[in-house]
Structure 1
C-alpha cells in the first residue's frame, strides 16, 4: 500500500484541479462530482441526510446549500435518523412516516437511489422507551414475533422497490465481549440470535428485491480485535443457519489513533484489517461502506495540517476498501462539517469543529474531498 504524505496530497490536489477531476461545488463549475467519478468505475458514492423545515440550517434536503452538495456529489442517500424506531414508531400502535416520505420524494425527484437505515438498532439506549418497557403479556415470544414482524413488514411493504437496500440489523455485537446485545424484545423473543435471524427472514419476504445488510462499527484501529471476532462469529452463524444476509455494512467511522503519520498508522493496521475483510468476503458477503467519516479529535488545531492528515488517512483507508471487488457503494455520514454528528460525540478539546467530512462548514471542499475523488477515480473497475 502506498504511504501518503502531505506533499503528495497537495500535489495530487493541484493535478486534479488542473484536469477537472475534482473541484469545489461552486455555481458554474462543470467538474464531475464524486458520484460521477465513482460511476466511471462501476461504483456509487452517497451520504446520509436529514429532514428539515424549508430553508432550515440543517444537513437536510430542505437546506438549499446542503441539497446542492447532495445533488452534485451523490448517487444514493440514506436517512440519518428518520427511519429508526424512535422516529417512525412513536408508540406500539402508531407509525409516522411523514418525514421519511418527504425525504424519499425529494430523492426521487433528483433521481437519487435510497437505502433504508435501520430496521432494528440493537443498542438499548437507541430503542424507544416504550419498547424497552413493553409488556409482552402471557406469551412473550409470540408477541415479540408479532411486534418485530409488523414493524419490518410495514416499512418494507410501504416503500417497495423505492428503497433498494436495508440495514436490517444495526450494531448487535458487544465490542467488549463479542457476544450479542440483549434487550427487552430479544429476551422476549427467546434470545438475540433467534430474533436477528427472524428480522432478516421477514425483511427478505417483505422486500425480496433489496440488498439486506448487517451494519456494524467494528473498525480497523487497534483495540477492535474482540469486536471484529464477534462480527465474524455472527456472520458465520448466518451462513450456517441460511439467514438471508447479503452484505456487511462497514460503518467506517475511523480515527487517527497512535503515534506516527497517517500512512504509518494505515500500514500498521492494514494486515489485520485485510484478514478480517478477507474472512468476510470468503463467506460470500458483499461489502458496503455505510457511514464513513474521520475523527480528528487528537490532531493539531492548525487547519491545514489537520486537513492534510485527515485526507491522507481517508485516502489510505479507501484504497484498501476499494481494492475489494465486493464493494460497490461508499457513503459518508454527512457531507459538511457543520452538521456532522462528530461535533456532538466526543468533541475536540479546543472547541473547533471536527473536520471529518468532504466539505467544511462554509460548504467548501477540503483536501479530503480531493482524496476521495482520487481514490474513486483510481479504483479497479467493477462489473455490472
Structure 2
C-alpha cells in the first residue's frame, strides 16, 4: 500500500484543480459535495436568505442536492428579530428552519450576539438594566429553537486588536455596558436555556499569514483558553474563512493554529467560507484556477485536522454573494467576484472541485 504524505495530498489536489478539471468534470456529474463529505462524517452546508430561495428554484434544488445544513444570513440576528423592544418576530428565521426541514437539512443558528445588526434600543437598555437585557434575548432565542437547532454561533466577532482594549476585545456596546465577562455569560445563558446546544465562538481573520491575522489568532486563542479554564460551556470555534487572494496564506501556520484550538478540547467548524478575488486582474478562467488553488490549500489544511467537523460556504452561487451585492465589496472592473463554488449560472467552478476532493481526501472522523 502506498501511503501519501501531506505534501503528496496537497500536490495531488492542486493538480486536480489546475490541470485535470475538465476531465474530472466528465466523471463527477453525478457526485455531490455532501456525498463526498458524509462518508467522512463531515458536514457541508451554505448560507442563504429567504428572498433568494423564494425566487430561485435552481438555488433550492442545489441546496437539496449538495448540502446537509443551512445557515440564515440575517434572519436570526437580533436586529431582525426584535427591531422594536418587546416585539419579537421569528417569521423569517422560522422560514429558514422550515426550508431546511423540507429539504432534509439541519439548520445552524447564526448569530445570537453580534455587535452589528443590533437594535437601536439595546445600547441604552443595557446601560440601564445590564446583563438582564442579554439574558432575555438569549433565553427566548434558544427556547424558541430548542429541539430544532443544535449548533449555534453564540458570540460573533468579539475580538478586534485595533480597538486597543484589554485582551484585544472589540470596543462594542456589549463591552462598554457589560464588561468583558459578557462573552462567557452569553454561553452560560444559552446553555441554561437549552443544555443540548453546541455553542460556538465565531470569528473572522484567523487564516492569513500576516501580522493582522496573527494578532487576531493570538487574541482568540487567549480568549478560548480563558473560557475553557473558567468552565464556560463552549463547544467549539467557528472560523469564518473569508479568504482574500491579495493576502498570503501559509498552510503550516493555519494548521498549527487549528491544533492549538483542538488541544483545548474544542471542535472547529469552517462557518462562512468564500474567497475574494478583487486583487486578481487575470482572465475569468485564470481567476477561477487561482481561487481553486487557494481553496485546495486552505481546505486540505483544515480538513486534515480531525477536530474540524465540516465546512459551510457563505452562499452557493456568486449570484447571491455579499461580495457581489455590496457597493463596498464589488470588483472595480464590473465583473462578478468569483468567490463561491458555483458561478452566477450555477455552473461548477474549480472551487467546487476543491471542496469535493478535499472531502474525499479527508481522514474519517
TM-score of the aligned structures, taking structure 2 as reference length: 0.91
**Aligned counterparts of 2:231 and 2:68: Cα–Cα separation in 1:** 32
Q: CA deviation at 1:133?
A: 3.9
Which residue is equivalent to 2:362?
379
Question: CA, structure 1 residues 157+301, in 2 after alignment: closer, same or farther (shift >3 Å)?
Answer: same
Say whether the 8 Å CA contact 1:144–1:185 is kept in structure 2.
no
Match of 2:17 among 2, 6, 9: 9
Consecutive unaligned residues in structure 1, runs of 5 or more: 24-30, 53-57, 138-142, 259-264
Question: CA, structure 1 residues 194+5, in 2 after alignment: closer, same or farther (shift >3 Å)?
Answer: closer
- Helix, strand or coil: the match of 1:215? strand
Which residue is equivalent to 1:212?
199
Which residue is equivalent to 2:36?
37
Q: CA deviation at 1:154?
A: 0.5
**Aligned counterparts of 1:135 and 1:238: Cα–Cα separation in 2:** 23
Which residue is equivalent to 2:340?
357
**Aligned counterparts of 2:244 and 2:101: Cα–Cα separation in 1:** 34
* Structure 1 residue 368 corresponds to structure 2 residue 351: yes
**Aligned counterparts of 1:218 and 1:128: Cα–Cα separation in 2:** 25
Say whether the 8 Å CA contact 1:252–1:292 is kept in structure 2.
yes
Match of 1:155 among 127, 134, 141: 141
Equivalences for residues 69-84 of structure 1 within 5 A: 69-84=62-77
Q: CA deviation at 1:252?
A: 0.5
**Aligned counterparts of 2:16 and 2:43: Cα–Cα separation in 1:** 26
Equivalences for residues 115-130 of structure 1 within 5 A: 115-121=108-114, 123=115, 125-130=116-121
Question: CA, structure 1 residues 41+135, in 2 after alignment: closer, same or farther (shift >3 Å)?
Answer: closer
Which residue is equivalent to 2:301?
320
Question: CA, structure 1 residues 87+7, in 2 after alignment: closer, same or farther (shift >3 Å)?
Answer: same
Question: CA, structure 1 residues 147+303, in 2 after alignment: closer, same or farther (shift >3 Å)?
Answer: same
Q: C-alpha offsets along residues 244-285 of structure 1, whole Å, 9 cap, x if unaligned?
A: 111000000011225xxxxxx54xx12322222221111111
Question: CA, structure 1 residues 209+15, in 2 after alignment: closer, same or farther (shift >3 Å)?
Answer: farther
RMSD of aligned Cα (Å): 1.9
Question: CA, structure 1 residues 136+242, in 2 after alignment: closer, same or farther (shift >3 Å)?
Answer: same
Which residue is equivalent to 2:3?
none
* Structure 1 residue 339 corresponds to structure 2 residue 338: no
Q: C-alpha offsets along residues 277-306 of structure 1, whole Å, 9 cap, x if unaligned?
A: 221111111010000000101112411000
Question: CA, structure 1 residues 308+158, in 2 after alignment: closer, same or farther (shift >3 Å)?
Answer: same
- Helix, strand or coil: the match of 2:146? helix
Say whether the 8 Å CA contact 2:14–2:296 is kept in structure 1.
no
Q: CA deviation at 1:351?
A: 1.5
- Helix, strand or coil: the match of 2:202? strand
Q: CA deviation at 1:48?
A: 0.5
Equivalences for residues 178-197 of structure 1 within 5 A: 179-189=168-178, 191=179, 193-197=180-184
Q: CA deviation at 1:10?
A: 4.4
- The number of equivalent residue pairs is 350
Say whether the 8 Å CA contact 1:293–1:357 is kept in structure 2.
yes
Q: CA deviation at 1:33?
A: 1.5
Consecutive unaligned residues in structure 2, runs of 5 or more: 1-6
Q: CA deviation at 1:136?
A: 3.7
Q: C-alpha offsets along residues 161-196 of structure 1, whole Å, 9 cap, x if unaligned?
A: 11121100000001424511233343332x0x2111
More helix by share: 2
TM-score of the aligned structures, taking structure 1 as reference length: 0.86
**Aligned counterparts of 2:339 and 2:159: Cα–Cα separation in 1:** 25
